[in-house]
Amino acid sequence: MYYIGGNSESVEQNVLHSYSMAYGGGGFAISYPLAKELVRVLDGCINRYSWFYGSDERIQACLSEIGIPLTKELGFHQVDIRGNPYGLLAAHPLAPLVSLHHLDYVKSIFPGMNQIDSLQKLNEPYRLDPGRTLQHSVCYDFNRNWSVSVSWGYTIQLYPSLVTAMQLAMALRTFQTWRTGNNEPFTLTPDP
């Protein structure tokens, strides 16, 4: 039995709701055997947690009672940020892009375009290589002492110095938190 999804990017949201919850806006998936078990207990469980804010929180509580933990998939994105999503998207982990939620609360993902045109532009590389769109890679030109950061189908950043892969995996803070508009804290950490 599997419960698969992603956390919020914002520590504020995870503390308020749960680090063990897959956020419903970004989406989540459950396996067929888990769905069968969930159907068996759902009515009573939903009644016990009727005061929870959203259905994703209620489902997580029910799955917790069943004893199924969240299996994190880094491609589900709640996008619990405000402002410019560039830093988040440019440091996307090595994971398939599954979802992007709350895009109506952030600036367009491509400057000078509206959100719909931006998504259509991102869809072009997605159609060519859906498993790698936005996946972040780092390479070096040791002859010039350059570092290159590539988020496939989205952006290339060239640094005229050698920067560690760990530093390049950190999201540039071009955005603020969802609830309070602070510049931190976020759950964004480099891939291990």
The tokens 């068996």 sit on which residue? 40
- pLDDT-derived band at 192 (thresholds 50, 70, 90) equals very low
pLDDT tens digit sequence for 121-134: 999 999 999 889 99
In whole angstroms, give the CA distance from residue 88 to residue 48: 36
In whole angstroms, give the CA distance from residue 93 to residue 171: 10
Q: What is the pTM of this model?
A: 0.83
Q: Given the DSSP bridges, would you call strands 146-151 and 136-141 parallel, antiparallel or unpaired?
A: antiparallel
Sequence length of the chain is 192
Sign of the alpha-carbon dihedral angle for 91, 139, 191, 164? negative
pLDDT tens digit sequence for 50-108: 898 888 999 999 999 999 999 999 899 999 889 999 998 998 888 889 999 999 899 99
